[in-house]
Amino acid sequence: MAAIASMIGPTPAVPGRSDVTNAECWLSPIVEELKHFYEPQPEAPRDAFVFYLWYVLGQRTTPARRDAAMAALKRIPALTPDAVWKAPRAKLQAAIAYVGPPEERLHAVIAGVEVFRRYREIERAVRGPILQARRSTRLLRALGPVGAQWMLLAAGDHPILPRHAGVGRLAMRLGVVPPPCCDGARAPWRAARVVAATVPRDVRFLKPAILYLSHHAAATCTVAEPHCRVCPLAVDCAYAHAPVVS
């Protein structure tokens, strides 16, 4: 992987290729490195309701547990708003229990089901013009801003990189985004905004990028204890080479 420090900044198009920017030049090899390092990750669902379930069930758990819960919902079957609504609660709880205590998540799932049943046009709206799509995702409160941005990308094919704090933290540690001048808690969000503002607006690039970057942030470049010794990005990582302060 080429040295990546100091590559971010204004992003004029690469000469001869109007569809590629300098941002892609630094982010592409990172995403490729992560694709090789991890098992292939299944794409985020393209159906808006299935994406909603996938995202809500994927919070504060591992991708493997989330996928087990999604597989259990598929077996019921309960992957449409009406099917979840009609499904026996005990079966829903048993499926959701794969990701942890089901009460809070079941509440979020049912809240989403009610919205999708009341506003039947959400699926279509998410794929429509961006203002209308954004308004639709705001109805789904359990998504929060990052989940809403991810739904716009995954289900709506809008070229948006979700402002994921894990991606901001990763960018700061790699040294491609200087730590913003704000308190520590807000810094990863600010850094994520900087990254999102500079990446190429190419859906085919952004979908795997957010999937693998957020996976790396959760699995290896964790908040409290980054596993730099096994990290495939360590060679060019500013954090990994920083002198240890005793």
Binding site for ligand SF4 (CB under 6 A): 170, 173-174, 220-221, 226-228, 231, 233-234, 237, 239-240
Decide whether 7 or 234 has the Cβ nearer to ligand SF4: 234
Decide whether 48 or 233 has the Cβ nearer to ligand SF4: 233
| Minimum distance of ligand SF4 from residue 218's CB (angstroms) | 11
| Minimum distance of ligand SF4 from residue 184's CB (angstroms) | 16
| Distance between CA atoms of residues 109 and 96, nearest Å | 9
Helices (H), 119-164: 122-126, 130-138, 144-154
C-alpha dihedral sign at 84, 89, 91, 97:
positive
Residue among 158, 159, 161, 134 at smallest CA distance from 148? 134
Give the SS3 label for residue 13.
Answer: strand
Beta bridge partners of 14: 17
| Minimum distance of ligand SF4 from residue 210's CB (angstroms) | 16
Contacts of 5 (CB under 8 A, 6+ apart): 174, 175, 176, 236, 238
| Minimum distance of ligand SF4 from residue 185's CB (angstroms) | 18
| Minimum distance of ligand SF4 from residue 91's CB (angstroms) | 39
Under 8 Å between Cβ of 2 and 29: yes
Decide whether 122 or 233 has the Cβ nearer to ligand SF4: 233
Give the SS3 label for residue 19.
Answer: strand
Decide whether 98 or 189 has the Cβ nearer to ligand SF4: 189
Decide whether 180 or 232 has the Cβ nearer to ligand SF4: 232
Six token digits for residue 221: 């470049």
| Minimum distance of ligand SF4 from residue 3's CB (angstroms) | 14
Decide whether 151 or 221 has the Cβ nearer to ligand SF4: 221
